[in-house]
Structure 1
Amino acid sequence: MRKDKGIVIKNIYYMLSYAFKILNQSVYEEVAAEEFEDMYNLFSAILSKGIGLQLKQGLYREYKNCQDELPVMRGKINMPGTIRNRLGHERVLSCEFDELSENNTLNQIIKTTVMLLLRNRDVKSNYKDDLKKKMLFFSGVDTLEPSAIQWTSIRFQRNNQTYRVLTGICRLILEGMLITTEKGKYKLASFIDEQRMCRLYEKFILAYYSQHFPSLSVNASQIAWAVDDDIRTMLPQMRSDIHLQKGNTVLIIDAKYYARTTQEQYNKHTLHSNNLYQIFTYVKNRHYAFGDEPNEVSGMLLYAKTEEEIQPNNVYRMHGNKVSVKTLDLNLPFTDLSAQLDAIVREHFGDTLVRR
């Protein structure tokens, strides 16, 4: 099986399945069972299934303001336009009205992403044929300039909630895989960029522990600064990637996905200093929050394993707390990857912890 930037392609699907729980629905069973050689075909298969599911429910439509010249009144009359028509001896009314339209941002994002996949020569013909059939239902939908999409302005509500996962997958493709050629044309890279992959990696670990270890409190919690006078004005937020807790035992995990897990200077490998400072700060402030209560707060930097010769695997005792640095091998079959994550939990919370 070909690997994508050191990661078995199949594991990308599993990571997406945890991050976007809807992918566990039966409609995606064929995708889960298939072997993929690259990212293009994996995303094409996921989008094809997701769009098909959305078409069965109906494409989301929203009201758009329209203006047209009509023989009968609709909505409200645009007087300047109507007068202009009369002066030109045209017996039509210039009308302004609202009309439900499928040509909205959510559908435009889907079509834009699919059109990029269709232009990619590495996407297999069977996926292209399937996507082309589905695009027939998007004939009235425009495409967008990918770099101009305002992702933060997108709002989901009851009528378009089913688009949340499809939009998330499209964003991962458009933001994480899109590159511009010298001629200003767009094409897709064969891998997701480091920043987007880091977010997926973090989401996956959080969702994995939340699903399989119900006896733990699992979240991405905010950690309060342990200040003596209760004044926290202008202090930056401390939000952990993964916060695991059972009673007064806490493990704070910072998930890191880098091309290089260590930094090198004068032929000496060391940990990324900012990462170590950050996890130590999280651990000590969380520890102080317990006050006089007995507690065990630990921290972990969990790097995605790279192909570098030197990989960190260290445990430190820092001012009474354990801080460890480990790597997670995403290049293994998922059963082995899962075993690595389970071992981390049992190491900190005991072997009796029940996995669901």
Structure 2
Amino acid sequence: MSEAIPIQNLYYLLCYAWDQLAEGEIVDIAADDSKTLTELFGRVLSHGTQRLVRRGFDRGYLVESEETPRLRGRIDMTASMKTQSWERGRMVCEFDELSHNVLHNRILKTTLEDLWHAEGIGKETRDLIHRQLESLRSVDRVHLTSGLFRRVHLHRNNRFYRFLLNICELLYDSRLPEQRDGKSRFRDYVRDPKRMPYVFERFVKNFYNREQTKFDVTSIQLKWNAKGELGDLAVLPVMQTDVSLWSSERSIILDCKFYKEAMSGWHGSERIHAGNLYQLYSYLRNAEERKGWEGSEGILLYPAVKGGFDHKFTIEGHPVRVVSVNLDQPWQAIHEQLLCVLDLASNSKLVRKRYLRRKIDDQE
């Protein structure tokens, strides 16, 4: 599956899913010749680190402990008594020190080192990573865990780190256990059946939120049109739409489906997944009780890399469309195809204007 989707398109999908398209433009994706997503991430992290070098790495106050003849900060009596430091005319003191050795810099360095040792990284990319590691010599490695990324606190002045840390976390989630040769290995992220559906859903939602202005884009929770005892109603599953689009003229419930079999093509003898259609139908029927959503349209959107399909029909008064977006084509074509799914014409001038605005914001 991953071999059929261009590396550059996978990168765009992730940038949209993270809602960090401007940050993702630190690398000229169109001119990049990376053979794997892992190598591309190595180049992106390297270019991102270069940018941090120019701006200055983020610093923060860290608690340091030191045995010293000059009192500063807070005296650590327990440590001083344990080492009997006063007999040497010294005390163990704790104090705050402004340092580059903050958690987000440590995560970045650790990930770059893992990439430098990884399989499938070309010499040019490896050299680029090595140069960035030189600028992080004063920063320590850290043992990566899934919970560690949640401990990073960022603010407006260092928000660019969020993009780099998203890549670091993705690589951590994709990392395979090290073998005896000490080389790092990463699984093919797009083959992960648990993560890619979420990425595709976030990509579609954020794409429509950024690239068109006709619809308000959100995700809504629908109530079942059911009656019964409170305890009985409580066992009904939650109906949460992937993407909901509303305007004064149209309301659309869009469900995103990322299936391996959908990626391999669509044959005339095959049929729509019954469960997917039943789910969408349930959304449409129960949305009828919501003001402004009485005559909602329904869309099932699948990714594809070979061929494509676009089926339209009406179910009990609701227009329904089952359509694919071809991810094995130039990005501008994907952009236009997604707008056509909503019957919106592509406005190249508007797209260009937004692109330039993002570039300006990225440079500030």
| Structure 2 length-normalised TM | 0.79
Query: Shift in Å at residue 112 of structure 1?
Result: 2.4
Percentage identity across paired residues of the two chains: 26
Distance 1:225 1:115 in 2: 51
Query: Shift in Å at residue 214 of structure 1?
Result: 0.9
Distance 2:79 2:250 in 1: 72
Instruction: Select the residue among 328, 336, 340 that pairs with 1:343.
Output: 340
Q: Which has the higher strand share?
A: 1
Query: Shift in Å at residue 182 of structure 1?
Result: 6.3
1:96 is paired with a residue whose SS is strand
Instruction: Select the residue among 68, 71, 74 that pairs with 1:73.
Output: 71
Distance 2:43 2:194 in 1: 23
1:7 is paired with a residue whose SS is coil
Runs (5+) with no aligned partner, structure 2:
264-268, 351-364
Q: Which amino acid aligns with 1:317?
A: T
* Contact 2:26 2:47 (8 Å CA) reproduced: yes
Q: Is the alpha carbon distance of 1:294 and 1:64 closer, same or farther for their aligned partners in structure 2, counting shifts above 3 Å?
A: closer
1:28 is paired with a residue whose SS is coil
What does 1:167-316 align with in structure 2 at a 5 Å threshold?
167-175=165-173, 177-180=174-177, 186-192=184-190, 193-226=192-225, 233=234, 236-261=237-262, 269-290=270-291, 295-305=294-304, 313-316=310-313
Q: Deviations over 1:48-90 (max 9, x none)?
A: 1222222333323333332210110111112243345557731
Distance 1:151 1:281 in 2: 37
* Contact 1:317 1:323 (8 Å CA) reproduced: yes
* Contact 2:252 2:298 (8 Å CA) reproduced: yes
1:299 is paired with a residue whose SS is strand
**Larger CA deviation: 293-302 vs 89-98:** 293-302
**1:50 counterpart = 2:48:** yes
Q: Which amino acid aligns with 1:11?
A: N
Distance 1:320 1:99 in 2: 67
Matched residue, 1:142: 140
What does 1:110-129 align with in structure 2 at a 5 Å threshold?
110-129=108-127
Q: Is the alpha carbon distance of 1:230 and 1:79 closer, same or farther for their aligned partners in structure 2, counting shifts above 3 Å?
A: same
Q: Deviations over 1:307-334 (max 9, x none)?
A: 6x9x765444333223332222111222
Q: Is the alpha carbon distance of 1:126 and 1:322 closer, same or farther for their aligned partners in structure 2, counting shifts above 3 Å?
A: same
Runs (5+) with no aligned partner, structure 1:
263-267
Q: Deviations over 1:271-325 (max 9, x none)?
A: 44443333222222223213xx684312222111156x9x765444333223332
Query: Shift in Å at residue 127 of structure 1?
Result: 1.9
What does 1:308-327 align with in structure 2 at a 5 Å threshold?
313-327=310-324
* Contact 2:75 2:94 (8 Å CA) reproduced: yes
Q: Deviations over 1:130-154 (max 9, x none)?
A: 2222222322333344445444454
1:112 is paired with a residue whose SS is helix
Q: Which amino acid aligns with 1:197?
A: M
Query: Shift in Å at residue 213 of structure 1?
Result: 1.3
Q: Which amino acid aligns with 2:207?
A: Y
Distance 2:202 2:189 in 1: 18
1:69 is paired with a residue whose SS is strand
| Structure 1 length-normalised TM | 0.81
Q: Which amino acid aligns with 1:302?
A: L
Q: Root-mean-square deviation (CA), in Å?
A: 3.4
Distance 2:81 2:178 in 1: 50
1:138 is paired with a residue whose SS is coil
Q: Which amino acid aligns with 1:12?
A: L
Distance 1:285 1:153 in 2: 40
Q: Is the alpha carbon distance of 1:337 and 1:155 closer, same or farther for their aligned partners in structure 2, counting shifts above 3 Å?
A: same
Query: Shift in Å at residue 345 of structure 1?
Result: 0.9
1:37 is paired with a residue whose SS is coil
Query: Shift in Å at residue 224 of structure 1?
Result: 4.1
2:28 is paired with a residue whose SS is helix
Distance 2:25 2:331 in 1: 21
Distance 1:129 1:23 in 2: 26
Query: Shift in Å at residue 25 of structure 1?
Result: 5.8
Distance 2:97 2:85 in 1: 28
Q: Which amino acid aligns with 2:248?
A: G
Distance 1:280 1:26 in 2: 37
Q: Which amino acid aligns with 2:39?
A: N
